[in-house]
Amino acid sequence: MTEIPETMTAVVQTGDGYAGTSTGPAIADAALHLECARLPVPQPEQGQVLIRMRMASVNPSDLHFIKGEYGQPRIKGAPAGFEGCGDVVATGNGAESLQGRRVAFVVTVPTSGAWAEYAVTSAQTCVPLRPEISDEDGAAQIVNPMTAMAMVDIARADGDAFVVSAATSQLGKLMCALGRDLGLKPIALVRRTEAVGIVKRAGAAEVLLTTAPDVMDQFASLSRQMKPRVFLDAVSDQLSEQIFAAMPKDARWISYGKLSAEPPKLTQMGQLIFMGKRIEGFWLTRWMQTTPPEGQARVAAEVQARFADGRWTTDVSARLRLDDVVSGLAKALEKTDGKVMIIP
Ligand SMILES: NC(=O)c1ccc[n+]([C@@H]2O[C@H](COP(=O)([O-])OP(=O)(O)OC[C@H]3O[C@@H](n4cnc5c(N)ncnc54)[C@H](OP(=O)(O)O)[C@@H]3O)[C@@H](O)[C@H]2O)c1
């Protein structure tokens, strides 16, 4: 058994609380929000585990968070990073069954983070990984895949066609693939011409280019034909509002991301009154708080089965060592088709 050191390297937040801004997940220079530090290795308390990190993913939520623009406050000096995979090397009372297991996890302890050599989290968020799951897939096993499963579940309860924005995102591709496998018809929105074929192959029934001058005419025609009632939207800008306005009665605009910094203006309030349309949000954290453990376990098992047999894979665009995160993160994020992974 390898000894656990007293201190570790971590990428920590330099900001505290909320920034009061809304600038989207783009990062110009990670040194504005993060620094590399030596910290004591955290100790697991009751129901918690200590994980030696193998790999951590960089999600848009991490970028919103370190900028102080996410749904929970930053803690200055605490490591960043919500998600990753690693080996359980110590456990608190009640979590002994996870000792020695390789797990996927999200961090639930606000003073801990996955962009570090070690992280502590609640044992409940840990998913023991099957041997055939790679560390790359393990490090991106929860946030996007669980969200994809939960949101496609919402969509399928409301008809067979649904709309997905930012469909080149990892989550967008997972939802297109899942939708196709369930016999649904995902209508994908992308902003780059090169992405059309990629998203079509991923499982979209239709792909629209948001930069096309006639995109709204194309969407209106598809909407009349396919009658999508759910819009799963990660962009949440003015075009999103127009898409929602062109959807049929009873349509639901479910905003789950804010990739665009543009605040949309509502132009069709009457549709909420006379057409039964609704605007909602989705946050995995709330879903986890409100979905019974057996429901979550079913979703986690299905997620892992899909990665194990190759129906889902994690595209990796870059790998960064912990020591290089502050200087290299902004550059690594420039390539948008895939995840940046952090390795201790
Ligand atoms: N609410 C929740 O619980 C929850 C859970 C998980 C994820 N999310 C959200 O889901 C979204 C996708 O996450 P991810 O990890 O899959 O992302 P990702 O793989 O990092 O990809 C981000 C994608 O966003 C696209 N993009 C960036 N800015 C855009 C803009 N202004 N307009 C249109 N497209 C834009 C990029 O498209 P190009 O390829 O064209 O550059 C890129 O493909 C994020 O907003 C994230 O916060 C929410």
- Report pLDDT digits (tens) over 137-181: 999 999 999 999 999 999 999 999 999 999 999 999 999 999 999
Nearest CA to ligand 1 atom 38: 336
- Best residue among 169, 207, 303, 339 to mutate for probing ligand 1's pocket (most ligand atoms within 8 Å of CB) is 169
Q: Edge to edge, what strands does the sheet with 278-281 contain?
A: 206-209, 185-190, 161-164, 230-233, 252-255, 278-281
Domains of the chain: 7-140+314-343 (3.90.180.10), 144-283 (3.40.50.720)
The alpha helices in 140-265, defined as continuous H runs, are: 143-156, 170-181, 195-202, 215-226, 238-245
The alpha helices in 83-165, defined as continuous H runs, are: 135-139, 143-156
Rounded CA-CA distance 312/34 in Å is 32
- Report pLDDT digits (tens) over 252-298: 999 999 999 999 999 999 999 999 999 999 999 999 999 998 899 89
What is the reported pLDDT for 113? 98
Atom number, ligand 1, closest to the C-alpha of residue 59: 15
Contact 254, 283 (CB under 8 A): no
Q: Mean pLDDT of all residues in the chain?
A: 96
Residue with tokens 């007293």: 6
Nearest CA to ligand 1 atom 28: 259
Residue with tokens 């690594």: 332
Neighbours of 132 (CB within 10 A): 11
Query: Is the pLDDT reported for residue 1 higher than 80?
Result: no
What is the reported pLDDT for 250? 98
Binding pocket residue ranges, ligand 1, CB within 6 Å: 59-61, 143-144, 147, 166, 168-171, 191-192, 195, 234-235, 256-257, 259-260, 282-284, 336-337
User: Which among 298, 310, 258, 303 has a CA at the least distance from the CA of 282?
Assistant: 258
What is the reported pLDDT for 293? 87
Neighbours of 266 (CB within 10 A): 11
Rounded mean pLDDT of 107-120? 97
Secondary structure class of 212 (helix, strand, coil): coil
Rounded mean pLDDT of 30-52? 98
Which pLDDT band holds residue 336 (cuts at 50, 70, 90)?
confident
Expressed in angstroms and rounded, the spacing between residue 234 Cα and the centre of ligand 1 is 6
CB within 8 Å of 57: residues ≥ 6 apart? 83, 84, 114, 139, 140, 143, 314, 339, 340, 341, 342
Contact 172, 203 (CB under 8 A): no
Secondary structure class of 57 (helix, strand, coil): strand
Percent share of the chain, pLDDT over 70: 99
What is the reported pLDDT for 340? 97
Percent share of the chain, pLDDT over 90: 97
Rounded mean pLDDT of 210-227? 98
